[in-house]
Amino acid sequence: MFYTVASLVAWGAALLTYESCWVLPLVAAILAKPRMQKTLLQKLGRYWGLAILFVGYLAARVVANGGVMGSYEGANFLQFNAGVLTGNFFKLAIMGFVAYTDSPWALQAGFFVAFGVLVFLFCRCFSTWVFKLVSCFLILLLPYLSLGIDTHGTEGERFLYLPSVFAVLCTVGLLGRLKKRYMLYGSVGFMAVLYAVQLYIAAVNYRFAGKLVQQTLIAMACAPVGRNITMEGLPKSQHGALIFASGLRDGQLFYATDPEKIDLVKIKSWRYELNPLQAPYKTVMLHAQPGMATVRFVFTDTALLIYR
């Protein structure tokens, strides 16, 4: 009884966090070892409790949000775009093990070699527990099929947090099947270097994105009072590292010396996400064009041009 109540409490808490937990009962059912001393009625009672709690949660979402899922995160589910959902499934599965496509070609090649080794070991060393881990990994991708993943950057990697747990378990378990020590150590070392390089590249992109955000907000705070600001080519991300996808207004308020007198900002255009900026990125102050009533912020490849 204690474990039943504890599982229901944990399940309820998970439902209040993120949609990725919706498939956890199925994952638990795959991994669980049925105990012969448990009666069928006790098992059904536990699963019925999870199901009732889940149905109640969905009903609450409908009342509060007007539907089970919104148009942003569930558009392809609601419209049943089978082609998009299938494509996203394979992209998510592959991106659980390899780098994004804007990484250096040598790094991409290394990841695909490592992925090929894992596929080979899976086919050669097939067992029930490996099949269970792979099944759990694939099942945990299902809540993200509508959104998909950004294969040109790291933005969508947040969708792989929970599935990556089973990706790591699969990797460790399969590499553990290598009998010869030099093959085991070589494979582990090779993959460790790959992921370390990938982490370094992602860290550089995120540091660059953060500096650009700070640089832009400081320039906005120093703009002449009483003149509105127009943004041209405002960048959304740098190889998936978010820059101004949202939060521009909040950042403006944070840096403003007098929040009640800040200028209005109009975004005239966005920069194409697959067109990254170049470092070092500088700020260039220019004289305003005759008759211009606003301060222009123009984002180019190498510099932020401010006409004031």
| Domain presence at residue 144 | yes
Q: CA 190, CA 169: separation in Å to the nearest integer?
A: 17
| Domain presence at residue 26 | yes
Q: CA 104, CA 106: separation in Å to the nearest integer?
A: 5
For residue 51, CA distances in Å to 54, 55, 206 come to 5, 6, 41
Of 222 and 232, more confident? 232
Residues 92 and 132 in one domain: yes
Residue 240, Cβ neighbours under 10 Å: how many?
23
Peptide bond into 34 cis (omega under 30): no
Angle at 270 between CA 267 and CA 272, to 5 degrees: 175
Residues 301 and 234 in one domain: yes
Where does the pLDDT of residue 7 fall: very low under 50, low under 70, confident under 90, or very high at 90 and above? confident
Angle at 163 between CA 192 and CA 73, to 5 degrees: 130
Residues 35 and 104 in one domain: no
Range of the domain at 151: 80-177
Is pLDDT at 208 greater than 90 in this prediction? Answer: yes
| Domain presence at residue 187 | no
Is pLDDT at 21 greater than 50 in this prediction? Answer: yes
> What global pTM score does this model have?
0.76
Least confident of 48-52, 53-57, 209-213: 48-52
Q: Are 276 and 238 in contact (CB under 8 A)?
A: yes
| Domain presence at residue 189 | no
Domain ends where: 68, 88, 121? Answer: 68
Residues 50 and 93 in one domain: no
Overall domain count for the chain: 3
| Domain presence at residue 186 | no
Domain ends where: 130, 157, 177? Answer: 177
Residues 101 and 11 in one domain: no
What does pLDDT average to over the chain? 83
Least confident of 50-54, 197-201, 259-263, 274-278: 259-263
| Domain presence at residue 197 | no
Residues 85 and 170 in one domain: yes
Q: CA 58, CA 242: separation in Å to the nearest integer?
A: 31
Residues 52 and 108 in one domain: no
Residues 298 and 220 in one domain: yes
Residues 104 and 165 in one domain: yes
Domain ends where: 12, 37, 68? Answer: 68
Sign of the dihedral defined by the CA atoms of residues 279, 285, 291, 292, in that order: positive
Q: CA 236, CA 276: separation in Å to the nearest integer?
A: 10
| Domain presence at residue 73 | no
| Domain presence at residue 215 | yes
| Predicted local distance difference test score (pLDDT) of residue 44 | 60
Least confident of 97-101, 108-112, 251-255: 251-255
Q: Are 271 and 306 in contact (CB under 8 A)?
A: no
